[in-house]
């Protein structure tokens, strides 16, 4: 939604109007003053009211204050009225009035303009002492059929302090005068007829309302129209006959005396309204009480609203028919003869009086009819608020009122409530706008066709409230009821048109904006129109604003912008120096400078310039001051870097390099104090600007010398040009690496810039740092494009050496004339401080390039293993980042790359061995070939080991293997902590931890991992499992531990590995010294956070028994989760001392269990360990045929499983359980599952072999019982009959259901019987039973 102020007319002869209404202002004009040029008084921009508020009035002296104020605000003391058709304006003061009418006239510029000119002026008073208080212009429609719709004539209604209301023609002829009340007239308002927009809306008649201090008089519009037409005809006849006396006809009017209100300032006549049945009953109840009665049909009422005080707003309702219309006393004699006098008030002209009677009547004061009392129905009571004005909306539903508190209040006319308030509008003036929708512009809606035929319906209407705040000089347009502000305009503080010059300027600016947006077929025509508009603007600030909008346009060509700016500049230069605004002149000058620079640069870039000079590697070596070996190394590094960068970076096609719109160019630069500077713009914009200047030069397609000369002469400083040049070079790395010849162009450009004035301080000596070269080094240090930065550093070093040589030779030649200066060629390098900084920077950039190449490299791993965390791109490196990353910054960057590639620690070890072993072939032979084959299956390492080897050579200290493993370990556990479901990250972290060779580092890293990431989750898992008494389900694990049940299982296994590694490191650390952390010479100045290895070395010694105590608990928890054991509460296996020691700091001394344990604890522990052994053997050797895939996944997890029988024996040692009992149980389980060969091996570990033999004897009996009793064969029954009765009874007592594997061959069982006889001594009670079993097994094996 948008709105604008559109001018429709100018004013003429305003000084004449002022002089007529304010004679004392004319008389005070100095006699010696020059008379005004009559030709200049016709323009609204001169002296009339356009320049009245050029300067705010200062504190005046007391004398003449009133006159000075009236000179600037005389219009405020006048009564004004403008016809709704804009064809007549009345300006009145006291007894005088001026009628202004529009006329077409030529302005000074030759254009035809509508101007208000004086049509009539004179005095309006009839009685002595009366003054004009209100005026109203009422256009009257023509009744002729040939009328075009324009008004036939306009009647001017004027109210006086005497109470008279008089009606005049446009020529000041009095038509009618009526004394309706003896109080002064406060306000005249008129309402015209409008066709109802909706069915059911009460039709409103035309009406003229006259407000007195305590009464309202309303005159019916039809009656008034007839009377005025009759009077006008009579005046015309009297003028034709030469008779000056006319007899006016009477008027029909209603007069209401307003009661119960203190003061009335303004009013609004709403018209006839009809209440709804509900409102009718509500009103009757409020007035008549509970017993009130109502009519069947709601009565019609005339509604009036007043503003004043007590109440602030009063609502009056006059029932139709409650008061008869009154006739003026002139028509009383004939009123009884007229049956239609009430409706046709024009009938009064039937009885005209004689001239003698007329004089008598004039001398006699007319009779004033009394008013019909009308009490206020209700109002908005606010004793402190006083209303000042009220304005009714065109639709008669809303009204806006102003008060003395500076508020504008929006009223709902029907409900009688305030619905909105605006604050800060003291002395405000208000009005309304009504906009009717154009049906042709309505967007068609997809709805069903209307049954009434018109699918679109009636035009919708939008209403806007217009508020003028004179103290702020702002005219605002608001959407009602609760809509936003849709427009605001700057106008004068004394009247709406007081700042007409500014208003005209703003109008021209908006016209200019519309022209810039339009699509003109001819740019030349548009250029001419723009020139006219900008030259017509008067105020410099507005003119500057217009020029800014022109220069910001994308539609105008460069030549058009230059011509317009130059035209404005020429105009300013032709004016007198005192009248020219310095700010506007400076603005035009600066923009012209920039436009000329843009033109020059564009011409240079458009020239067909190509450098034909051949360029070889030898030339490059000489240019960069490198020998052949150094150049080959540099080229090799850059080639590898380029190959790896193109693999990882996707580059989209950009816009044409070197093309920058002039609009953008002007936005980027500013001209100040004969220098051109770059504004604060983004990095992309900075590169775009530098590209315009230097990209063609760097490609050898534009003259470098001419470009530098052009930029220098334009006022760009060498430092700014160097910054722009480096921004382009460092940002377009790929294009530069593809074209080595650009190095030569950069060398030339840098040499030219360095030779400019104020580039290098003349007082600079070799023992101080040059700010010029320091600026370049800083840019290289901050750049993340290592290849381009390294090349630019080589170029900078070469140019600096060349210039320093020249300076040194010049100084030496001046000091020692005729001396042999041959030995000074390179001596300056040893003495120059800048040279040392260049060498340091080159080494740092080379290191950074190698490291960035490594981080760009990647192996072709299987995508199924990739995680979202590993898919995140690595941040690019710069020397600045490495210097601020601390001593561990380099290793941390490589660790992030290792995590992203998910390399095994063996890959890092492989590349390191190539460095450590003198013979590379032997080193590769020493590598585990199985591991290499596994790597070949999982991923294609490509050139990764070579890049790693090169990085190791470049960073022997920062990438020492223990340091790198420590950072990799930490990186993996950090990433695992972000997503604990990725259990393999934790597993990989433990692998890197185990590869750390120095026990001091290993101990510290493991302890930090435990305290930072593990102990909280570990304790949560322990408490959860102790609470549920079994392995918890997935939902509980996620709730308490923060990961799934399978992830918890892996987590506990890795925790066990960590605790065991921690104990091993604690034992080994006493046998070795702590490492000495060195840093490469080029990186001694690193600052930043402390490294992981340094933190690890600061960790305290652990309390070994406490770590062992936690390791036991971790083993128990791991076993419960691994085998899904039930009826196990892990913490119940420990006494109170053991429980209290859990989850404490591993470096603290805790009170641990000691001495003999309670037999009950030992019994429970033994049962648990036997469960673990059984579950472990079952998981490994179960041969059930109904296994599903999920069970297979559980029994063969992706993480490396423990040797559970060994672990169970170890736990038995710590839990004070008999280790031999666990071993015997393990042997028994192995035989139970039919893996007799493993059982024979496990027997060797058992100490009490007699007890074991007795247990195995029972197993043999179960096997034979199954073979004899459950096969139910004839041979088996015959064999059973031949066995000894004692053996048969013993076999029958056996229960073979406990056997896990019943398919064991009888020959295998025979071996077991022989083994048992070996273990049993001959004097053992079951020895004879074993002998019988040998016979039975042999007998069973014979038939088979």
Share of the chain above pLDDT 90, in %: 41
CA distance linking residue 664 with residue 657, whole number of Å: 15
Of residues 439 and 310, more confidently modeled? 310
Rg (CA), the chain: 54
pLDDT at 1191 over 80: no
- In 10 A of CB 1199, how many CB atoms? 16
CA distance linking residue 1309 with residue 1315, whole number of Å: 10
- Tens digit of each residue's pLDDT (9 = 90 or more) over 348-390: 333 333 444 444 445 566 788 888 999 998 899 888 999 999 9
- How far is residue 53 from each of residues 11, 56, 650, measured CA to CA in Å? 17, 6, 63
Handedness of CA 604, 608, 614, 618 (dihedral sign): positive
What are the phi and psi torsion angles at 482 (to 5°)? -115, 25
- Angle of helix 1327-1341 relative to helix 1285-1292, nearest 10 degrees, comes to 90
What are the phi and psi torsion angles at 1156 (to 5°)? -70, 135
- How far is residue 1007 from each of residues 96, 448, 1014, 1098, measured CA to CA in Å? 102, 76, 10, 11
pLDDT at 1192 over 60: no
CA distance linking residue 1106 with residue 1146, whole number of Å: 6
- Per-residue pLDDT at 582: 87
SS3 997: coil
pLDDT band at 432 (very low <50, low <70, confident <90, very high): very high
DSSP state of 1187: -
Mean pLDDT of 1271-1276: 61
Strands (E), 1075-1154: none
- Per-residue pLDDT at 110: 62
- Per-residue pLDDT at 1208: 93
- Per-residue pLDDT at 61: 42
Q: Find where tokens 């052949």 sit.
A: 628
Mean pLDDT of 389-395: 92
The DSSP result for 551-566, as a single string, is: HT-SSS-HHHHHHHHH
Residue closest to 860 by CA, chosen among 936, 958, 798: 936
Greatest CA separation for the chain: 174
Contact 1093, 963 (CB under 8 A): yes
What are the phi and psi torsion angles at 311 (to 5°)? -85, 165
DSSP state of 655: S
CA neighbours within 13 Å on the CB side: how many for 18? Answer: 22
pLDDT band at 345 (very low <50, low <70, confident <90, very high): very low
Residues 6+ apart with CB under 8 A from 1197: 1046, 1049, 1050
pLDDT at 1277 over 80: no
Of the listed ranges 145-149, 868-872, 1046-1050, 1166-1170, the least confidently predicted one is 145-149
Residue closest to 986 by CA, chosen among 963, 968, 1008: 968
Supply the mean pLDDT for the chain: 81
CA distance linking residue 547 with residue 594, whole number of Å: 14
pLDDT at 40 over 60: no
- Tens digit of each residue's pLDDT (9 = 90 or more) over 630-667: 889 898 899 888 887 776 544 434 445 557 899 999 99
The DSSP result for 768-792, as a single string, is: S--HHHHHHHHHHHH-S-HHHHHHH
pLDDT band at 1060 (very low <50, low <70, confident <90, very high): very high
Of residues 1328 and 1028, more confidently modeled? 1028
- Tens digit of each residue's pLDDT (9 = 90 or more) over 902-925: 888 988 888 776 545 444 444 444
Tokens standing for residue 147: 């009328």
CA distance linking residue 653 with residue 795, whole number of Å: 28
- Tens digit of each residue's pLDDT (9 = 90 or more) over 1201-1232: 678 999 999 999 999 999 999 999 999 999 89
Residues 6+ apart with CB under 8 A from 446: none
pLDDT band at 336 (very low <50, low <70, confident <90, very high): very low
Of residues 1188 and 367, more confidently modeled? 367
- Tens digit of each residue's pLDDT (9 = 90 or more) over 825-871: 444 443 478 888 999 999 999 999 999 999 888 766 545 567 788 88
pLDDT at 1115 over 80: yes
Q: Find where tokens 């593809």 sit.
A: 738
DSSP state of 77: G
- Tens digit of each residue's pLDDT (9 = 90 or more) over 483-504: 898 888 877 665 454 445 676 7
- Per-residue pLDDT at 939: 55
What are the phi and psi torsion angles at 806 (to 5°)? -65, -45
Share of the chain above pLDDT 70, in %: 80
Residue closest to 1023 by CA, chosen among 1127, 1129, 1138: 1129
- The CA angle 234-239-242, to the nearest 5 degrees, is 120
CA distance linking residue 731 with residue 740, whole number of Å: 16
CA distance linking residue 385 with residue 407, whole number of Å: 10
- Per-residue pLDDT at 334: 32
pLDDT at 341 over 50: no
For residues 75, 79, 85, 88, the Cα torsion angle rounded to the nearest 10 degrees is -80
Contact 1170, 1123 (CB under 8 A): no
pLDDT band at 443 (very low <50, low <70, confident <90, very high): low
Mean pLDDT of 998-1003: 96
SS3 232: helix
Contact 538, 45 (CB under 8 A): yes
Of residues 74 and 456, more confidently modeled? 74
CA distance linking residue 1102 with residue 1011, whole number of Å: 12
């Amino acid at each position: 939604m948008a709105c604008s102020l559109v001018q429709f007319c100018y004013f003429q002869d305003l000084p004449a109007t002022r002089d007529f209404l304010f004679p004392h202002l004319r008389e005070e004009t100095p006699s010696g003053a020059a008379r005004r040029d009559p030709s200049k008084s016709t323009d609204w921009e001169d002296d009339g009211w356009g320049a009245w508020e050029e300067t705010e009035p200062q504190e005046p002296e007391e004398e003449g204050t009133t006159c000075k104020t009236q000179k600037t605000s005389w219009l405020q003391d006048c009564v004004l009225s403008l016809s709704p058709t804009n064809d007549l304006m009345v300006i009145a003061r006291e007894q005088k009035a001026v009628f202004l009418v529009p006329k077409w006239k030529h302005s000074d510029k030759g254009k035809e303009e509508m101007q208000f000119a004086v049509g009539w002026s004179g005095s309006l008073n009839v009685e002595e002492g009366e003054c004009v208080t209100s005026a109203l212009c009422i256009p009257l429609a023509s009744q002729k059929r040939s009328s075009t719709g324009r008004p036939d004539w306009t009647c001017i209604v004027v109210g006086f302090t005497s109470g008279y209301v008089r009606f005049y023609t446009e020529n000041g002829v009095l038509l009618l005068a009526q004394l309706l009340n003896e109080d002064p007239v406060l306000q005249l308002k008129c309402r015209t007829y409008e066709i109802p927009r909706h069915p059911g809306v009460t039709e409103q008649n035309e009406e003229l309302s006259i407000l007195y201090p305590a009464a309202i008089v309303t005159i019916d519009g039809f009656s008034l129209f007839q009377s005025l037409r009759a009077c006008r005809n009579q005046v015309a006849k009297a003028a034709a006959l030469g008779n000056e006396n006319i007899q006016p006809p009477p008027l029909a009017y209603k007069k209401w005396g307003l009661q119960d209100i203190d003061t009335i300032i303004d009013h609004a006549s709403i018209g006839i309204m009809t209440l709804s049945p509900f409102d009718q009953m509500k009103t009757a109840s409020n007035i008549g009480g509970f017993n009130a009665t109502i009519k069947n049909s709601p009565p019609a009422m005339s509604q009036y609203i007043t503003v004043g005080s007590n109440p602030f707003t009063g609502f009056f309702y006059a029932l139709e028919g409650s008061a008869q219309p009154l006739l003026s006393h002139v028509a009383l004699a004939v009123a009884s003869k007229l049956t239609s006098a009430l409706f046709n008030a024009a009938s009064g002209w039937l009885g005209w009086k004689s001239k003698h009677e007329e004089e008598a009547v004039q001398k006699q004061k007319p009779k004033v009819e009394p008013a019909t009392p009308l009490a206020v129905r209700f109002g908005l009571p606010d004793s402190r608020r006083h209303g000042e004005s009220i304005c009714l909306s065109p639709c008669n539903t809303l009204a806006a009122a102003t008060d003395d508190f500076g508020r504008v209040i929006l009223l709902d006319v029907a409900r009688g409530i305030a619905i909105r308030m605006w604050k800060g509008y003291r002395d405000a003036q208000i009005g309304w706008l009504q906009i009717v929708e154009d049906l042709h512009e309505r967007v068609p809606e997809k709805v069903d066709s209307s049954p009434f035929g018109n699918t679109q319906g009636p035009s919708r209407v939008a209403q806007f409230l217009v508020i003028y705040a004179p103290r702020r000089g702002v005219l605002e347009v608001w959407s009602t009821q609760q809509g936003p502000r849709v427009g605001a305009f700057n106008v004068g503080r004394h009247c709406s048109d007081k700042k007409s010059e500014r208003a005209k300027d703003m109008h021209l600016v908006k016209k200019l904006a519309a022209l810039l947006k339009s699509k003109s077929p001819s740019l030349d025509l548009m250029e001419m129109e723009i020139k006219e508009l900008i030259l017509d603007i008067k105020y410099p600030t507005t003119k500057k604003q217009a020029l800014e909008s022109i220069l910001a346009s994308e539609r105008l060509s460069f030549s058009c912008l230059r011509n317009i700016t130059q035209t404005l500049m020429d105009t300013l230069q032709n004016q007198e120096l005192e009248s020219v605004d310095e700010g506007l002149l400076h603005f035009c000058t600066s923009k012209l400078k920039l436009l000329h620079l843009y033109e020059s640069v564009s011409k240079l870039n458009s020239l067909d310039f190509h450098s034909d000079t051949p360029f070889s590697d030898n030339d490059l070596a000489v240019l960069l001051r490198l020998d052949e070996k150094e150049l080959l190394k540099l080229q090799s590094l850059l080639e590898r870097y380029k190959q790896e960068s193109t693999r990882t970076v996707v580059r989209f096609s950009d816009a044409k390099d070197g093309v920058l719109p002039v609009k953008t160019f002007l936005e980027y630069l500013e001209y100040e104090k004969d220098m051109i500077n770059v504004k604060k713009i983004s990095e992309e914009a900075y590169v775009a600007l530098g590209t315009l200047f230097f990209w063609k030069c760097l490609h050898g397609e534009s003259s470098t010398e001419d470009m530098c000369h052009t930029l220098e002469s334009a006022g760009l400083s060498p430092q700014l040009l160097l910054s722009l040049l480096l921004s382009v070079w460092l940002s377009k790395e790929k294009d530069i690496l593809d074209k080595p010849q650009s190095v030569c162009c950069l060398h030339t450009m840098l040499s030219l810039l360095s030779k400019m004035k104020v580039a290098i301080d003349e007082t600079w000596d070799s023992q101080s740092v040059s700010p010029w070269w320091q600026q370049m080094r800083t840019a290289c240090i901050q750049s993340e494009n290592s290849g381009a930065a390294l090349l630019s550093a080589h170029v900078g070093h070469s140019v600096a050496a060349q210039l320093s040589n020249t300076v040194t030779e010049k100084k030496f030649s001046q000091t020692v004339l005729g001396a042999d200066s041959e030995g000074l060629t390179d001596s300056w390098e040893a003495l120059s401080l800048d040279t040392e900084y260049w060498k340091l920077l080159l080494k740092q950039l080379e290191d950074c390039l190698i490291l960035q190449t490594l981080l760009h490299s990647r192996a072709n791993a299987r995508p199924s293993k990739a995680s979202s965390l590993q898919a995140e791109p690595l941040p690019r490196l710069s020397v600045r980042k490495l210097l601020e990353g601390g001593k561990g910054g380099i290793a941390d960057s490589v660790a992030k790359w290792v995590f992203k590639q998910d390399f095994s620690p063996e890959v890092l070890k492989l590349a390191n061995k190539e460095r450590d072993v003198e013979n590379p072939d032997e080193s590769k032979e020493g590598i585990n070939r199985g591991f290499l084959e596994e790597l070949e299956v999982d991923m294609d390492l490509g050139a990764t080991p070579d890049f790693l080897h090169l990085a190791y050579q470049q960073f022997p200290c920062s990438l020492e293997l223990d340091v790198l493993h420590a950072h990799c370990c930490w990186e993996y556990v950090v990433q695992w902590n972000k997503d604990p479901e990725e259990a393999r990250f934790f597993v990989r972290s433990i692998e890197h931890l185990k590869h750390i060779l120095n026990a001091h580092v290993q101990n510290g890293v493991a302890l930090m991992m435990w305290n930072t990431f593990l102990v909280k989750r570990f304790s949560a898992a322990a408490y959860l499992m102790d609470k549920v008494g079994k392995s918890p389900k997935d939902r509980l694990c996620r709730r308490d531990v923060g990961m799934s049940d399978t992830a918890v299982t892996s987590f506990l296994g890795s925790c066990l590995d960590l605790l065991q590694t921690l104990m091993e490191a604690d034992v080994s650390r006493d046998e070795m010294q702590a490492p000495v952390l060195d840093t490469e010479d080029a990186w001694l100045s690193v600052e930043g956070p402390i490294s992981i290895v340094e933190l690890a070395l600061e960790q305290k010694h652990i309390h070994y028994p406490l770590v062992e105590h936690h390791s036991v608990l971790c083993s128990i928890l791991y076993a419960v989760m691994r085998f899904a054991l039930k009826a196990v509460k892990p913490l119940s296996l420990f006494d109170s001392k053991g429980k209290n020691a859990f989850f404490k700091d591993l470096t603290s001394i805790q009170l641990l269990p000691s001495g003999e344990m309670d037999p009950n604890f030992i019994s429970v522990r033994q049962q648990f360990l036997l469960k673990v052994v059984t579950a472990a053997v079952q998981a490994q050797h179960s041969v059930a045929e109904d296994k599903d895939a999920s069970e297979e996944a559980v029994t063969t997890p992706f993480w490396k499983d423990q040797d559970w029988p060994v672990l169970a024996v170890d736990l038995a040692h710590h839990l004070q359980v008999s280790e031999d009992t666990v071993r015997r149980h393990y042997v028994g389980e192995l035989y139970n599952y039919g893996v007799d060969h493993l059982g024979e091996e496990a027997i060797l570990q058992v100490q009490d072999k007699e007890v074991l033999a007795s247990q195995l004897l029972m197993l043999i009996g179960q096997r034979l019982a199954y073979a004899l009793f459950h096969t139910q064969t004839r041979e088996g029954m015959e064999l059973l009959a031949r066995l000894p009765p004692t053996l048969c009874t013993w076999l029958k007592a056996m229960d073979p259901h406990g056997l896990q594997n019943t398919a064991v061959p009888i020959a295998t069982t025979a071996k077991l019987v022989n083994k048992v006889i070996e273990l049993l001594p001959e004097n053992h009670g079951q020895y004879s039973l074993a002998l019988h079993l040998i016979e039975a097994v042999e007998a069973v094996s014979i038939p088979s």
